[in-house]
Structure 1
Amino acid sequence: MSKDFIDDKKLEDILAQVKPTEEKIETIINKSLNKERLSLEETATLLQADKPEWIERIFKGAEELKNKVYGDRIVLFAPLYVGNKCINNCEYCGFKASNTEIDRCTLTIKELQAEVKAMEKKGQKRSILVYGESPDYDADFIAKTVQAVYDTREDKGEIRRVNINAAPLDVEGYKKLKEVGIGTYQIFQETYHHETYQRVHHSGPKRDFKWRVTGLDRAMEAGIDDVGIGVLFGLYDWKYEVMGLLEHTIHLEEKYNVGPHTISFPRLKEASNVSIDDKYFVNDEELKRIIAILRLAVPYTGLILTAREDAKLRREAIKLGVSQIDAGTKIEINGYSDDDDEQDINREQFVIGDSRSLDDVIYELLSDGYIPSFCTACYRLGRTGEHFMEFAIPGFIKRYCGPNALLTFKEYLEDYASEKTKDVGEKLIQEKLAEIEDEKTKEKIEAKLEEIENEKRDLYF
């Protein structure tokens, strides 16, 4: 049986004891740039580095590391809410059991397929399915919905990777999801601070801190070696929560030799029938510090910046280490098939800040020199878990990600892009090809790009 590995006093003591200096900060950043994961003490030093010049140095280091490990690609996905029934009473969530104002709904398979088709018509290739915690949403139900998503096609569209955001399961439940080929299983602890956790989780299974914090241990034991962690920033001190995320990362590395595939850092947002306490509010500058420090602390992991944040902040924050964003996001039940731009707070878990279309987000990424990617090659070729770590930790994964990003983006340009996006996108692809020094590699990529122009799809290295 896995134990609760979060020690509040230890993390708080480390934060209290470190003393940042310019020399220490430089040494720590250089270690990170060598693609080595930072220790708790090193990360705490960066967290306590409050001088403007120190913060700027951390930002520059994070930006350099992102370019070194991930290059200029940004992976795109979209969330799909399957059901919002919930038996938990979490004071920060619009789906909480006590909220009688929320419209409760669970998609039928037919409705789910309509949602998927609507997403595919826009060009989406990756999705994360989101579920409340309810007896109705057991492993068998989740597996059935995952299979339905994979089986649903619209013209040239398909969802090639289905990730999951759901309640923790037992080992047997996770095994059922592994059988249907899920991607990442994502569980956010929300807060790693025990006292705060008990205060904000009033009732329901989620009140059990240990069951939740060990949820990904059971996933690993079931053979799911691709997992994601996260914190809801705003519930407790943000510096402590970053330490909690790193402690969780270290635990997974030490026990399973596999760290988290992704780390998420959503902020507390307005939601139906929720009163927000701003005591631990995280402002925009603090969020940017969180992103930069996480990038330096865990160089190999993907960092996810969601559409909770507005377009301006997302544009500023991406360069600090973000590797994945959602775009064209709808979080209302039946939101994609309804295609209504108006948000209804009683049909969604929280209010999103960036409701732009997928094409608009892609156009902006292109304007900033990024290559949008819908790549799923690592997952489908078995480059997950320890195998992924072997490539990701030294930065070798970039060798596959760049070419595969170009191929999946080319599909988007051929099948879904607006004219302005296609014009800019084609120019950027040619620019990226010109940067490739190895002629054999360039020829292979050019050959596959030509195949895509000739109606071939789903090509990757």
Structure 2
Amino acid sequence: MYEDILTKIINHPDSVTLEEVAFVLSNDQLTPKLFAKADEVRRKYLGTEVFLRGIIEFSNYCSNNCLYCGIRAQNTNVRRYRMTSDEIVERARIINEQDIKTVVLQSGEDPFYTKDMLGHVISAIKSLGLTITLSLGERSFNEYSYWKALGADRYLMRHETADEELYEKLHPGDRFENRKAHLLELKRLGYEVGAGSMVGLPGQDDFSLAKDILFTYELDADMIGIGPFIPHPETPLKNAVAGTLEKTLKMVALTRLFLPDANIPATTALGSIHPQGRQMALKCGANVIMPNFTPSPYRAQYALYPNKICIMESDTACGECTKALVRTAGYTVSQSHGYRRRRMREQL
């Protein structure tokens, strides 16, 4: 039955049920077969290339109070920072000099950065010939449109969980339908859109996780970031049990079967819970890594979760380190901008 479901996912994903996805997630006996099949699909559609995205975490101010997040507004023990526009653009130049073609501008939901301020940054970075991914949380639809017109290419906004009841518990004052509406508007505007989820959240079960996979499939997300829940000591969930490596890798692998040509990162959080976490994700279907170019002393303050890797390195070291990681895992570092290369689904 297990192998039949995997074949069904690959060849006829529209007919796969929530119960079938949850069954695969709950079954550990054939996990190696799932991982091998995900790598096979990834190689068939995308080859062995790994896309690099240089990330700049330019502000750790956030107006939200998500229960799991270390930079939530009510955490008064965070040393807050905001990078200037010139600092952000200079970081982008460093990324460009390392022959990385995409920059990711990430922050908390920080209204200090206005539409025009960010528009100036986008225009300046675009003049370098870089592809731009924004990860700023929920902003106005007008802002999304303005930034797209200035050259922003992608927007990453993880949905975290597609279980509506759990979403509302974790995000005070917000609803899953609102997050979904933002993602759909970004698609309508022509962005490559990234969604994604956390694995192991309190109250989450295999059916909740199955909803996440089916949601990203129905959204036809161009990029899906999946990482383990890691409890932060300065949050209401500080005593919760963390998400596991194996379950997170299962989510990566199943997402690859549903979306064979999408871009799926080997997330930093996976590398933070296991020294080989990102390499293992590459072998389970992932094809993107995001080296961190946030400068010191800011880097250590962007602590969404504790024990994040690479925060004490030289602030330009991640580029070459990540390239070496990719090569030693048996994959190749792509020289392209890493747009999604849509392909017709093929029978396996």
TM-superposed deviation, 1:159: 5.6
Residue 199 of structure 2 is aligned to residue 233 of structure 1? yes
Q: How does 1:304-315 map to 2 (within 5 A)?
A: 304-310=265-271, 311-315=275-279
Amino acid at match of 1:394: R
Amino acid at match of 1:199: K
Higher relative contact order (CA 8 A, sep 6+): 2
SS at match of 1:392: coil
Report the CA distance shift for 1:297/1:33 in structure 2 as closer, same or farther (over 3 A).
closer
Report the CA distance shift for 1:98/1:364 in structure 2 as closer, same or farther (over 3 A).
closer
Match of 2:287 among 312, 320, 323: 323
SS at match of 2:106: strand
The TM-score normalised by the length of structure 1 is 0.65
Report the CA distance shift for 1:88/1:76 in structure 2 as closer, same or farther (over 3 A).
same
Alpha-carbon separation, structure 2, partners of 1:186 and 1:212: 12
Alpha-carbon separation, structure 1, partners of 2:261 and 2:16: 14
**Aligned CA-pair RMSD:** 2.8
Amino acid at match of 1:353: I
Match of 2:187 among 220, 230, 233: 220
TM-superposed deviation, 1:304: 1.2
> What's the counterpart of residue 158 of structure 2?
188
Q: How does 1:62-461 map to 2 (within 5 A)?
A: 62-151=38-127, 158=128, 160-203=130-173, 207-221=174-188, 223-235=189-201, 236-237=203-204, 239-252=206-219, 259-269=220-230, 271=232, 273-274=234-235, 276-277=237-238, 279=240, 281-310=242-271, 311-327=275-291, 329-330=292-293, 335-336=294-295, 338=296, 344=300, 346-351=301-306, 352-354=308-310, 357-376=318-337, 378=339, 391-394=342-345
Amino acid at match of 2:262: T
TM-superposed deviation, 1:187: 1.2
Equivalent residues of 1:238, 1:282 under 8 A apart: no
Alpha-carbon separation, structure 2, partners of 1:325 and 1:306: 7
The TM-score normalised by the length of structure 2 is 0.85
Report the CA distance shift for 1:237/1:181 in structure 2 as closer, same or farther (over 3 A).
same
SS at match of 2:138: coil
Alpha-carbon separation, structure 2, partners of 1:209 and 1:377: 29
Report the CA distance shift for 1:322/1:354 in structure 2 as closer, same or farther (over 3 A).
farther
SS at match of 1:214: helix
Q: Which blocks of at least 5 consecutive residues in structure 2 are unaligned? A: 312-316
Report the CA distance shift for 1:159/1:239 in structure 2 as closer, same or farther (over 3 A).
farther
Displacement over 6 Å in runs of 4+: none
Alpha-carbon separation, structure 2, partners of 1:347 and 1:167: 15
Equivalent residues of 1:74, 1:373 under 8 A apart: yes
TM-superposed deviation, 1:321: 0.2
Alpha-carbon separation, structure 2, partners of 1:283 and 1:104: 30
1:296-333 deviation line (CA, Å, top 9, x unaligned): 12223221122222241211221110011112x14xxx
Equivalent residues of 2:199, 2:209 under 8 A apart: no
1:7-59 deviation line (CA, Å, top 9, x unaligned): xxxxxxxxxxxxxx2xxx323333445485662344334223x142x222212
Q: Which blocks of at least 5 consecutive residues in structure 1 are unaligned? A: 1-20, 152-157, 253-258, 379-383, 396-461
Equivalent residues of 2:8, 2:16 under 8 A apart: no
TM-superposed deviation, 1:202: 3.2
> What's the counterpart of residue 44 of structure 1?
22
1:334-364 deviation line (CA, Å, top 9, x unaligned): x33x3x6x963x4543342356632222223
SS at match of 2:156: strand
Report the CA distance shift for 1:377/1:74 in structure 2 as closer, same or farther (over 3 A).
closer
Report the CA distance shift for 1:306/1:374 in structure 2 as closer, same or farther (over 3 A).
farther
1:175-234 deviation line (CA, Å, top 9, x unaligned): 11210121221111222223322222235xxx233221211112233x224111111223
Number of residue pairs matched by the alignment: 335
1:82-120 deviation line (CA, Å, top 9, x unaligned): 222221111211221112222222222222223223333
Report the CA distance shift for 1:145/1:284 in structure 2 as closer, same or farther (over 3 A).
same
Report the CA distance shift for 1:353/1:218 in structure 2 as closer, same or farther (over 3 A).
same
Report the CA distance shift for 1:234/1:33 in structure 2 as closer, same or farther (over 3 A).
closer
TM-superposed deviation, 1:292: 1.4
